[in-house]
Amino acid sequence: MTERPLKQIRLAAHFPGVNNTTVWADPRSRSQIEFSSFEHLARTAERGLFDFFFLAEGLRLREHKGRIHDLDVVGRPESITVLNALAAVTEHLGLAATVNATFNEPYELARRLATLDHLSGGRAAWNVVTSSDAFTGENFRRGGFLDRADRYTRAAEFVATARELWDSWTPDGLSRPFAHRGQHFDIAGEFTVPRSPQGHPVVIQAGDSDEGREFAAATADVVFTRQASLEGGRAFYADVKGRLAKYGRTVEDLKIMPGVGVVLGDTAAEAQERAAEIRRQQTSPQTAILTLEQIWGVDLSSYDPDGPLPDIDPVAEPTLTEGRTRRGNTLEIAERWRALSREKGLSIRETVIEAGGRQSFVGTPQAVAAELDEFVQRDAADGFILVPHLTPAGLDEFVDRVVPLLQERGVFRTEYKGTTLRSHLGLSEPVWKG
Amino acid sequence: MLHLSAAVDQPSAYDAGSYVELARLAEHGVLDFVTLDDTFARPGLDALAVLSRVAPATGRIGLVPTVTTTHTEPFHVQAAVATLDWVSRGRAGWRLDVSTTEGEARLFGRRHAAPAEALWREAGEVADVAAKLWDSWEDDAEIRDEPTGRFIDRDKLHHVDFHGTEFSVRGPSIVPRPPQGHPVRVVDASEGQARDIAARYADVALVRSVSAAQTRAVRDQLRAAAARFGRDPDALRVLAALVVDLGDGEHAAEPGHGGGGPRQTAQGPLYRGGPVDLADLIASWHGEGAVDGFHLTPAEPRRDLERLVNGTVALLQHRGLFRTFYPGSTLREHLGLARPVNQYAGEAS
């Protein structure tokens, strides 16, 4: 049996956003909103020859116990607008915007994405997310109109409609009228933007649910997943790639990229110490209590974060927090956390830290490079979306210390070969369907 | 103070470079701002996106895209305009417009075409809610208070609870208050339906007319209406909007050319003549107190903007009628407009 050639690793960077991953109290932490922060992180990602730069989205500030959440970074700019500005200060880096398919309309969003693709010379990507959240809907004309079951049918029709609009211009520059009539959209007219450099901007899909996996297999170019363990990743990878054939697609057509945190040290022990310190910074005493309240669904402000877990049971359907979804059965989570606390003798804060650890790769640059490589060669991922814990310098160390090792291993590019994001990702040009 | 601005519209330009070039040229002429028009109905890129792309490639010039209010989500619109202000470090404006045709309505499939009057009333509501959302964060809301673990002071964030005729918004915005407090709002006040909205919400009103007397009359009307809405009329800049064709040289004899003043065309009032004659016209209308300045749309984008900057503007500078450098860095500073006070400041959330 011949050995298969080494798979090439895809890398992308996530701008540290609105949750307790981002350590704002660190003295090196700078503005989350000023353009210079976005510019620094994007330029670092481009220096590291990354495939793309990824922005999340918020459409309503989170609330907890009826008040605006105040413990984590809050507030961010609108993502497509920032990415257009970043197109001016980068040359190759892909520019990925998270945009909700529930609170937007296909004509307008297809036009904004095609515009970004033109202005960046073919570097645009759209991370499709959905919402069924009436809380978020209170900021929109639509309101909270969509059933949970309809989110993906609307999203799928949304993506298909956007592609019809992008295909309404022929590759040689002729505009033709379009008409789309479906369950969610009944629209017609002429699209105002000629076919963009990539034909279709890259479509990214986030989400690990069964519906999300099916949607990704049918539609997406890249999957952004939370799966970050080797075994979990391999199972997810096999499952999602296994769904492609029935849509006439090959395993090359969809890249699987988990979001991961990386902590480096000169020795393994130093890296572990730094990771522990970062987790402590990410989980202040106030954040520990809040995390518990999200699960228990009741006010726990009288509890001592350095004391034991509450002996009362959580309410079955907690509604204390709005604007953020926590998956899973809260009674089970509470039981698991109590067991963890008992077994290791952990306080509330220590339990939250232990249970919610986010750093997927901790070690020396050599060890991390080897581990990332192993994940990719063993089909647990095609690459990674790095989620730094600091703005804006959180990617510097990875680019300086790990990227060269990946290049030495022959699994990461030493220069950009093409100019478009599709070419970086090894995705083919979309076939024009006029 | 004389205010000058120009359009950088270019039919069928889809590359960033040509827009950057024109904006830099206008900045070389120390103009207050450039506009880029937009509609969902005819070929063209998203204007706010183009000017966001231009922002890092320029340093001082104001950037004013048209963003329509009829088929868009007010929450998205205010966030995008605020973000343009962040990426340009305080140089964003927003030219409000409405979509009146059934053709535009069919692109969205959500509502039918409506009369301009109703759409402008809605545009006013969008302007109003946008200002509320920009104010929904007080300037000093971000506190990064380590002892209490609080990133923000939530008493300095506010729900806006806006209920309009066509939409409602709970708020607060997702974007912190932009550098200018409120990006500059521009409204074409030539048509009657838009005039009240301009008087009530605009920082800059554009008036398309062919004579100084006509422009002065509209300016007086706008200022009186602004006062009725409880505004200081001096906080409203009224600019005469002209299409300029500088291809024909100086002192063309016939009326409508050069010294004869602008004439009415289907594209709006058109000035044809040379850069020197245009400087005379600008100096004369402004000197008579008919206008606060001009918004000029080059008939031939590259040629006429270049002649405008290197001819007309240079001459006005030479005569001491127009500045030779930007004394400030934000568009509000160029226009001599104060940074708005936050309407929620001091109010508990």
Q: What is the pLDDT of residues B184-203, one digit of tens each?
A: 999 999 998 999 999 999 99
Residues of A in contact with B109 (CB under 8 A): 185-188
CA distance A59 to A131: 10
- B37 interfacial to chain A (CB closer than 8 Å): no
* Token reading at B220: 């007086």
At residue A32, the pLDDT reads: 94
Rounded distance between C-alpha atoms, residue A270 and residue A287, angstroms:
25
> Could you tell me the strand order of the sheet in which A63-64 lies?
A67-68, A63-64, A321-322
Q: Give the ranges where B4-160 is alpha helix by DSSP (H).
A: 16-28, 47-54, 74-87, 102-108, 116-135
Q: Which of residues 117-156 of A touch B (CB under 8 A)?
A: 118-119, 138-141
Interface of B with A in 130-189 (CB under 8 A): 137, 142, 144, 146, 148-154, 157, 166-172, 174-176
Mutate which: B154, B161, B349, vs A, most A CBs within 10 A? B154
A vs B, Cβ pairs < 8 A, gives 179
What mean pLDDT comes out for the span A360-371? 96
Cα pseudo-dihedral A273, A278, A284, A290, rounded to 10 = -120
The answer to whether the Cβ–Cβ distance between A75 and B16 falls below 8 Å is no
How many angstroms separate the CA atoms of B197 and B122, rounded? 10
Q: Which of B185, B202, B187, B179 minimizes the C-alpha distance to B88?
A: B179
Residue B55 with chain A: CB contacts under 8 Å: 35, 85, 88
For residue A286, the distance in angstroms to the closest alpha carbon of chain B comes to 6
- Chain B nearest CA to A70, separation (Å): 5
Q: What is the pLDDT of residue B259?
A: 54
pLDDT at A136 over 50: yes
CA-angle at A68, arms to B81 and A104, nearest 5°: 40
Residues of chain A with Cβ-Cβ distance to B89 below 8 Å are 35
Give the Cα separation of A358 and B53 in Å (integer): 35
Q: Is the pLDDT of residue A1 over 70?
A: no
Extract the tokens encoding A82: 């920032």
Sign of the alpha-carbon dihedral angle for A383, A387, A390, A391: positive
**How close does chain B come to A158, measured CA to CA in Å?**
12
By the 8 A CB rule, do A385 and A258 touch? yes
Please name the amino acid found at residue B9: D
The answer to whether A186 touches A126, Cβ cutoff 8 Å, is no
Asked if A81 reaches chain B (Cβ–Cβ under 8 Å), the answer is yes
Phi-psi region of B280 (alpha: psi -120 to 50; beta: other; left: phi over 0): alpha
Q: What is the pLDDT of residue A147?
A: 80
Q: Which residue of A has its CA nearest to B126?
A: A141
pLDDT in tens, B313-329: 999 999 999 999 999 99
**Residue A176 forms contact with B (CB below 8 Å):** no
For chain B, the average pLDDT equals 95
Compare all CA atoms of chain B with the CA of A141 and give the residue at the minimum distance.
B167
Tens digit of each residue's pLDDT (9 = 90 or more) over B128-175: 999 999 999 999 999 999 999 999 999 999 999 999 999 999 999 999
Q: How close is the nearest chain B Cα to the Cα of A199, in Å?
A: 14
Cβ of A82 and B49 within 8 Å?
A: no
Neighboring chain B residues of A60 at a CB cutoff of 8 Å: 170, 174
Say if the Cβ atoms of B152 and A74 lie within 8 Å.
yes
pTM of the model as a whole: 0.97
* DSSP 8-state code for residue B320: T
What are B77's strand-pairing partners?
A: none
Q: How far apart are CA A15 and CA A393, in angstroms?
A: 11
Burial of A175-214, coded b for 16+ CB within 10 Å and e otherwise, reads: eeebebeeebbebebbbbbbbbbbbbbbbbbbbbeebbbb
Residues of chain A with C-beta less than 8 angstroms from the C-beta of B166:
141
Q: Is A103 on the interface with B (CB under 8 A)?
A: yes
Using a CB-CB cut-off of 8 Å, the residues of chain A touching B41 are: 192
The residues in B 71-110 lying below 8 A from A, measured between CB atoms, are: 71-76, 79-80, 82-84, 86-89, 103-104, 106-110
The predicted pLDDT at position B11 comes to 87
Q: Which residues of A touch B87 (CB under 8 A)?
A: 35, 77, 81-82, 85
CB B235 within 8 A of CB B217: no
* Contact between residue A117 and residue A123 where contact means Cβ atoms under 8 Å apart: yes
**Which residue type sits at A51?**
D
- Confidence tier at B253 by pLDDT (50, 70, 90): very low
The pLDDT score that the predictor gives to residue B348 is 67
| pLDDT tens-digit series, residues A45-67 | 999 999 999 999 989 999 988 89
Task: Please indicate whether, in this complex, the C-beta atoms of A78 and B76 are within 8 angstroms of each other.
Answer: yes
Q: Return the amino acid letter for A108.
A: E
- Which member of B103, B149, B154 has the closest CB to residue A68? B154
Specify the higher pLDDT residue, A220 or A130: A220
Q: How far is A317 from chain B (nearest CA, A)?
A: 24
Cis peptide upstream of residue A392 (ω within 30 degrees of 0): yes
Q: B83–A104: do the CB atoms touch at under 8 Å?
A: no
Q: Which residue of A has its CA nearest to B129?
A: A139
Confidence class of residue A179 from pLDDT cuts 50, 70 and 90? very high
Q: Can you tell me the distance from the alpha carbon of B75 to that of A139, in angstroms, rounded to the nearest whole number?
A: 6
Q: Do B49 and A89 touch (CB under 8 A)?
A: no
Q: Which two tokens stand for residue B117?
A: 């009057």
Mean pLDDT of A37-49: 98
What is the pLDDT at residue B223? 98
Is residue B257 scored above 70 in pLDDT? no
- Give B223→chain A minimum CA distance, Å: 33
Answer yes or no: are the C-beta atoms of B136 and B97 closer than 8 Å.
no
The total of other beta-carbon atoms located within 10 Å of residue B163's CB is 11
| pLDDT tens readout for residues A366-409 | 999 999 999 999 999 999 999 999 999 999 999 999 999 999 99
Name the residue facing A81 among B40, B44, B52 (closest C-beta): B52
